[in-house]
Amino acid sequence: MAKEKKGVRLEHISKIYKDPKTGKDFYAVKDCNLEIEPGTFVTLLGPSGCGKTTTLRMIAGFESPDEGEIYLGDEAINALTPNKRDTAMVFQSYALLPHYNIFDNVAYGLKLRKLPQDEIKRKVTDILKLVGLEGMENRMTNQLSGGQQQRVALARALVIEPGVLLFDEPLSNLDAKLRVSMRTEIRRIQQEAGITAIYVTHDQSEAMAISDKVIIMNGGNVEQVASPKEAYYYPNNKFVADFIGEVNFLEAVVVAQDEVDINGVRLKCATGDMEINKQCSVVLRPEGASLSDEGDLSGTVEYSCFMGAYQDYHIKVGETVVKIQEYNPKNKKIYNVGDKVFLNFEDNTLYAL
């Protein structure tokens, strides 16, 4: 569908704003370096205020960077206005034309480009089919559900065949169930159109569900660029570990290469190139340990609750309370508050920061 998949490169990009309260300048985005491969779906993920929208708006051309250069394919685009860039943006508010029908909303950009009528008709029909609105050309946009309006907004962005599609929290006006189905739809459409997509969200499960890569941001800085799986199992730091999924940090000391001491117990653990005797934090996901009457690391049950899919535990290990979720508890021994229990780790579970 797209003319050409384009990559995007950010080189040392910064944006400085004035804080309205203090009147002082601050970096909303600081020295951001990114390389987005053509045809991939990447997500800017992070808490509110971390600089996601600012980064996206600089790529779209609605804001100019104070430092650095942005490239679309091989072309430096800092000096280009938004309409001269080969990008299209899907907004949270949809920004549809209310007194137009679906066809005219989608055709709008093509008419501006003065394409012949029959070509407009063909392109709009094709795109409406792709987004699942076939045969609805004549419906007025103010008669559509939120999900349908989102599809129109997506069709309108796609129809001009941009090299890169940009999304800023496009699903936040939809209810929870529709958000989940629409994100799957957006991923399908991106794959079918074979287009590069840059997507902004603060919702980590949304990011994991749709992205080839997540770009995790915090306070204007990029903390990690990785596949969802890499970011989950091998976070760069505590912020990333905590932002993506639930996590426990166990205080430990490196005692050998790929071995740590937790509470006097030696355990296999990926330690990278950490020095012996270094204090570290071991990342343990709640589903990363199983419980039994004997095993690796002992603790006492402080909380035990049946949640259906899993038994939810808090287990006091030394001075730390560890959250553990034992999935499929039906045929497993259930431990109760006060029970002594052991945590067991499979190989390659523990990872030190």
Binding site for Mg ion (CB under 5 A): 53
For the chain, what's the residue count? 353
Residue 121, C-beta contacts closer than 8 angstroms, at least 6 positions apart = none
Q: Which stretch binds ligand ADP (CB under 6 A): 52-60, 68-76, 226-234, 268-276?
A: 52-60
Residues within window 233-262 making contact with ligand ADP, judged by CB under 6 A: none
Instruction: Give 45 or 322: the residue with its C-beta nearer to Mg ion.
Output: 45
CB 30 within 8 A of CB 223: no
Encode 293-322: b = buried (16+ Cβ within 10 Å), e = exposed: eeebbbbebeebeeeeebbbbbbebeeeeb
Q: Which distant-in-sequence residues (6+ apart) come within 8 Å of 21 by Cβ?
A: none
What x/- string results for residues 17 through 36 when contact with ligand ADP is judged by CB under 6 A? Answer: x----------x--------
338 close to 300: Cβ distance less than 8 angstroms? yes
Interaction of residue 204 with ligand ADP, rule CB under 6 A: no
Q: How far apart are CA 156 and CA 233, in angstroms?
A: 38
Residue 54 found at the interface with ligand ADP (CB under 6 A): yes
> Which residues 325-344 are close enough to bind ligand ADP by CB under 6 A?
none
Segment lying near ligand ADP (by CB under 6 A), choices 3-11, 47-55, 84-92, 178-186: 47-55
Residue 38 found at the interface with ligand ADP (CB under 6 A)? no
Q: Is 50 in the site for ligand ADP (CB under 6 A)?
A: yes
Total residues at interface with ligand ADP (CB under 6 A): 10
81 binds, among ligand ADP, Mg ion, none (CB under 5 to 8 A by kind): none
Q: Does position 51 bind ligand ADP by CB under 6 A?
A: yes
Rounded Cα distance between 107 and 113, Å, is 10
What does 318 bind: Mg ion, ligand ADP, none (CB cut-off 5 to 8 Å by kind)?
none
Q: In what order do the strands lie in the sheet with 75-76?
A: 25-36, 8-18, 67-72, 75-76
Q: Is 49 in the site for ligand ADP (CB under 6 A)?
A: yes
* Binding positions for ligand ADP, rule: CB under 6 A: 17, 28, 46, 48-54
